[in-house]
Chain A
């Protein structure tokens, strides 16, 4: 009954799905930085995030894909839109950008581009040449046992996970305290 073991259930048309999703993600990303209207940028960002979650699905990581939709597309982007909606869009669109940081941004983009190019050029030696085909159905369990550990022993990333959760807790408390008038 395990679909991953069944040869007829192997993925079909994988490259096409990849190109469509990657194209959507890039198109969304370009629209995010070229649109003058902040709400349009936010909507384009949602398209990018959904396309990336589709790419996670193609990497046999359905759990990560689901969390990507819940946290980013569903949660964070709604809060983004919530704030952007209250901005006077007409005036914001006419304003010139007031911080002159584009050389720094350009430098960062160039470094990132160099990184990607080197990854493509030297990819064959850096990465395993074929992907481990994990059974999709155990993805959630594997993430859980990495984060929380099997029965009795600590997982590989338990410590890092707990530290990260503590960091988030501190951030939440900070946000709650900052809403009070008198600190």
Chain B
């Protein structure tokens, strides 16, 4: 039995995602990713409400748990218990299946997202094509939901959203192609579509693709960064659910659990699309300067970052405990926040111990654990920055008008993306 278990911890098995022998690990990663993303969506929900509130000089949720920390759990319970209404005139089956299509498409993209060189469900050699295809299936969920509701606002919302997503997909695809072209700048002249291969190409070339052929990589990244906000129907491109015009757009008729599935799909899609931008242009799982500062001492310093981050979070929670009002009403909340700070501090301690124990570059379990934590940490940190940007956009910019949105998509972004693609190809041929 121990041999059987240890055979799955063998580096040759854990080192090849999705390939021979690691179906077991693929399954484990599927479970981890599904729970992780669901929890991240809840955390994002809390963060968005808090951050938006602070942008507008409000407090945001404060009542459920200390600083509203338990609010997303309360929301989830509320949504699960609410009455699930299907309008009498709606197309029952399609109404039922629409949120599932959106959810499936949003979560299927995670199959190809690499959290590390071997920390992925699978390493498909058509990774980026799979991602573009499956994320374009997400539109179907929205379109079908708007139609099945048999109501005017959802139909208009669905029409707007499908037109918007189809238009921005074109510019997005062209920006992605210019990044793929950059992967072929090696000795063999062969590029790759595999997500892991794209990050490894950035490592070999010693440069993140956002800085490659400056400013071409930067412009391509900018186009993707704009298009991905439009793809996920977020402000300032949230035409599909413009509440002042369309009540709530395509999910007006949805309630309870089904509505929450739409929200889950939207936030999961936000995370996955940021992960793709990071993989293509921002070095994926790599820590800053992996080639320049590659001495073991630097490796050790960078491996301290995860622990220090949790230590900082624990310190913030602890300061929050100290600043709680001294009234006896707040006794339970204060104890809860102190316990939360203690848990964060414990995680920080654990991570620091692993960083110290695994600082040698050998193949011991601790060293490999340390490396894996480093990959996932830098990846998640980059995603977190993008998620904050999404909130920041929403708090900052007013909504576009629909014709303006279409004009930008077709008449500005598409020509620029085409131009960048051609210039990248020309520069690439000239350099090699």
Contacts and interface: CB of A to CB of B under 8 A. Distances in A.
A79 interface: yes
A69 to B, nearest CB: 3
Size band of the interface chain A makes with B? 20 to 34
A159 interface: no
Contact of B125 (A39, A70, A75, A137): A137
B166 interface: yes
Nearest to A65: B126
A142 to B, nearest CB: 12
Interface stretch (B138-146, B234-242, B322-330): B138-146
Interface stretch (A1-9, A17-25, A161-169): A1-9
Nearest to B143: A81
Contacts, number: 90
A99 interface: no
B129 interface: yes
A140 B126 contact: yes
A70 B133 contact: yes
B190 A141 contact: yes
A78 B129 contact: no
B313 interface: no
B134 A69 contact: yes
Interface string B114-133: 00000000001110011011
Given A62-B126, A81-B162, A137-B125, A74 B133 contact: yes
A85 B158 contact: yes
Nearest to B189: A151
Given A6-B20, A8-B21, A82 B143 contact: yes
A84 B158 CA distance: 13
B299 interface: no
B132 A70 contact: yes
B184 to A, nearest CB: 10
B16 interface: yes
Contacts of B144: 39, 43, 81
A147 B101 CA distance: 35
A59 interface: no
B64 interface: no
Contacts of A79: 166
B125 A139 contact: yes
Contact of A63 (B129, B134, B147, B159): B129
B19 interface: yes
A61 B190 CA distance: 18
Nearest to B173: A70
A75 B143 contact: no
Contacts of A67: 129, 133
A140 B155 CA distance: 39
A56 to B, nearest CB: 11
Given A6-B20, A78-B143, A85-B155, A70 B162 contact: no
B16 A75 contact: no
A140 B133 contact: no
Interface string B142-169: 0110110000000100110011011001
A149 to B, nearest CB: 14
Nearest to B18: A3
A26 interface: no
Contacts of B126: 62-63, 65-66, 140
A75 B166 contact: yes
A46 interface: yes
Interface of B: 16, 19-21, 91, 93-94, 97, 124-126, 129-130, 132-134, 136-137, 139-140, 143-144, 146-147, 155, 158-159, 162-163, 165-166, 169, 189-190, 193
Given A63-B126, A66-B132, 7 more contacts: A39-B91, A70-B133, A75-B136, A75-B166, A78-B143, A85-B155, A151-B189
